[in-house]
């Protein structure tokens, strides 16, 4: 992915253990976005996932 425009319609659904797996998946997504979207750092990647959550495009069905 070379630009944020490539991800504008992305949807991410995470389902699983909230005590361990969900945190690791979130961190992996932040890392992937920061490393593969030009000009984006980890904070911006996390902000992007926060915005996606508000838009219903990053949904986490997690339990402990």
Structural domain for 28, as ranges? 4-63
Q: What is the pLDDT of residues 1-53, one digit of tens each?
A: 445 556 678 899 999 998 889 999 999 999 999 999 888 999 999 999 999 99
CATH of the domain at 39: 3.40.50.80
C-alpha to C-alpha distance for 22 and 17, rounded to whole angstroms: 6
C-alpha to C-alpha distance for 45 and 50, rounded to whole angstroms: 9
C-alpha to C-alpha distance for 36 and 19, rounded to whole angstroms: 27
In the chain, how many domains are there?
1
Task: Name the 3-class secondary structure at 24.
Answer: helix
Per-residue pLDDT at 20: 86
């Amino acid at each position: 992915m070379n630009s944020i425009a490539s991800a504008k319609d992305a949807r991410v659904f995470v389902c699983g253990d909230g005590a361990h797996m969900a945190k690791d998946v979130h961190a992996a997504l932040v890392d992937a976005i920061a490393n593969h979207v030009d000009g984006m750092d980890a904070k911006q990647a996390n902000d992007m996932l926060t915005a996606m959550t508000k838009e219903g495009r990053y949904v986490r069905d997690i339990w402990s």
